[in-house]
Amino acid sequence: RYPCDFPGCGASFGRARDLPRHKKIHDESLKITCPECDRTYHREDLLARHRR
């Protein structure tokens, strides 16, 4: 398993490639804001799904 080392997170992943993607949720500077409703996301694909 590949655990997240962010204090208090507790998430862990079976694949190493999933950990860097997850770690973005802990970085406030990487937030992407929806221009229509001001909701924030940490991944472009989640914003795109929201906007559909």
Tens-place pLDDT, residues 1-52: 999 999 999 999 999 999 999 999 999 999 999 999 999 999 999 999 999 9
Query: Which class is 2-51 in CATH?
Result: alpha beta
Q: What's the pTM value of the predicted model, to 2 decimals?
A: 0.71
Distance in angstroms (rounded) separating the CA atoms of residues 36 and 22: 25
What are the extents of the domains in the chain?
A: 2-51
Q: pLDDT at position 25, please?
A: 94
Distance in angstroms (rounded) separating the CA atoms of residues 14 and 24: 17
Q: pLDDT at position 17, please?
A: 97
Q: pLDDT at position 40, please?
A: 96
